[in-house]
Amino acid sequence: MAQISASSNGQFSRDTQIWHNLKYVISASSGFQSWQLECNAQLQGLRLEQQVQKYLRETLETLAY
């Protein structure tokens, strides 16, 4: 079984904090809020994290075209 070193554990903690901050900044953006209004029925029951992930995925798919 792999062991997690203290330095990678510290990195995980920083990454988690960064994601937490990004999630709330994204959710406060006008683009995200407009997207939420468009997709309201599809977002029922999803946590904020799941909504942000879906928004980012759809945004990146749109940019890929």
pLDDT tens for 9-42 read 778 889 999 999 999 999 999 999 999 999 998 9
Q: In Å, how far from its chain's centre is CA 20?
A: 8
| pTM, to two decimals | 0.76
Task: Examine the pLDDT at 65 and tell me if it is beyond 90.
Answer: no
Average pLDDT over residues 37-63: 94
Instruction: Summarize pLDDT for 2-11 with one digit per residue, the tens.
Output: 555 556 777 8
Q: What is the pLDDT of residue 2?
A: 52
Euclidean distance between CA atoms 46 and 27, whole angstroms: 13
Alpha-helical (H) ranges within 1-65 are 6-28, 30-38, 48-64
Element (H, E) at 65: none
